[in-house]
Amino acid sequence: MKTANELEFKDTGEADDPTAELAKQLAELKTALETKAANDNAKLIERLDRIEAKANRPTNRQAANDNEPGLETKALSKFLRSGVSALDDLERKTLNLGTNTAGGYVVSPEYGKTVIEKLRQYSPLRGLASAMTIGATEVYIPTLETDADGEGWVTETGNRTATEPVFGQLNIKTFENARYIPISQQLLEDADIDLLSFVAGHIAKITGKVEAKAFMIGDGNGKPTGLLNTPANYASVTAAADASDIIAKVIEAFYKLPGAYAANGSWIMRRETMGAIRAAADTALKGNLWSDGLANGTPATLLGRPVYESIDMSLLPTATGTSYPVVFGDMASAYQVVDRVGLALRVDDLTGADNGIVKVRWRRRVGGAPLLNEAAILIKSTKA
């Protein structure tokens, strides 16, 4: 006997019509797909609308001129050049935002070479003097104090007498120059500039200036002994304080220095002194004494020898006293630079971690001292 359900399906005819059942399932699938597609399209359109709205929204990080640095870059530059005290409130807040970097030593050999080249630009004497690298705290360099007596004429059977030079020793110690720049951890993580390159260039600049000053006028107390620490040790010519005879004194100094040194000589002076000499040369119709460099970065020449600028040289005196505004000589023979440890730069993310500070540390050990006094000559000037 058949059940009620079986009789119902038989009466409708659906159990015996597979084509009708398949058509029904296809219709349901089509409806489901159309509904899902409509929902997906609506979500996609909504998402695109949000992105477009966000892109059109103004941002305070966009500079008015795309070529101008943003506030973060300006604040960082000001901080690294002048310290946190130079920042206003907005710049202090901005500086707490910062650049992506990694810990550990960050100066590769190529990077170190770039820094040294920058040091040479700021320290003319380093690029002109003799330089050596040592593996100890100090070095002793033999020096010739007195030549052997050259008068040894004798007869065929006459007595020969002994003669010998007198040697001495020059002791050059090395000294450490070390500091650090504190930067917030978030600044290191988030800024949009190459912070390490920026810091390396800044470190090269300030380290070069410190070394340049020590090499020229350092007193040897915790720093190198400068070329002009004891000016009385050099030969000199005296020029008028008003520079009225400066051209004559330049020529006198050039020819008073022994020819072997003058042939490799360089002039070092302040920019203001360079201007006074050039103006005097033009006024005296001796402009050929001074020749400007023909290529960018090429030094001018005075009497055929290069002229280098040093802010650490003195000017012609404007008040009572004596100054030494010009030095001329073979600097490779006159001065010795001794390097013990090259510029070492590393990121210290431990000692300031409690305050969210990373310290970019650097150190350098270097020494220097006058080597041969006869290889240089000074122009001095006295005002009563």
Question: Side-chain half-sphere of 325: how many Cα atoms within 13 Å?
Answer: 25
219 beta partners: 225
Whether 24 shows a pLDDT value over 90: the answer reads no
pLDDT digits (tens, 9 = 90+) for 132-174: 998 888 998 887 777 777 777 888 888 888 887 788 888 999 9
**Complete domains list, the chain, with CATH:** 70-94 (no CATH), 233-337+372-383 (3.30.2320)
Q: CA 324, 325, 330, 332 torsion: positive or negative?
A: positive
Amino acid 73: pLDDT: 56
**Entry field: residues in the chain:** 384
pLDDT, greater one: 287 or 283: 283
pLDDT digits (tens, 9 = 90+) for 344-360: 788 888 888 888 888 88
Q: Which residues contact 77 (CB under 8 A, 6 or more apart)?
A: 69, 198
pLDDT digits (tens, 9 = 90+) for 171-219: 999 999 998 888 888 877 776 767 767 777 788 788 888 999 999 999 9
Could you tell me the pLDDT band of residue 371, with boundaries at 50, 70 and 90?
Answer: very high
pLDDT, greater one: 285 or 135: 135
pLDDT digits (tens, 9 = 90+) for 98-112: 333 333 333 333 445
pLDDT, greater one: 83 or 14: 83
Owner of token pair 């966000």: 54
Amino acid 64: pLDDT: 43
Mean pLDDT along residues 29-41: 70
Could you tell me the pLDDT band of residue 115, with boundaries at 50, 70 and 90?
Answer: low
pLDDT, greater one: 34 or 239: 239
Q: From CA 315, how far away is CA 322, in angstroms rounded?
A: 10
pLDDT, greater one: 39 or 318: 318
Global model pTM greater than 0.85: no
Mean pLDDT along residues 275-283: 85
Amino acid 252: pLDDT: 97
Whether 4 shows a pLDDT value over 50: the answer reads no
Contact yes or no for 290/278 (Cβ under 8 A): yes
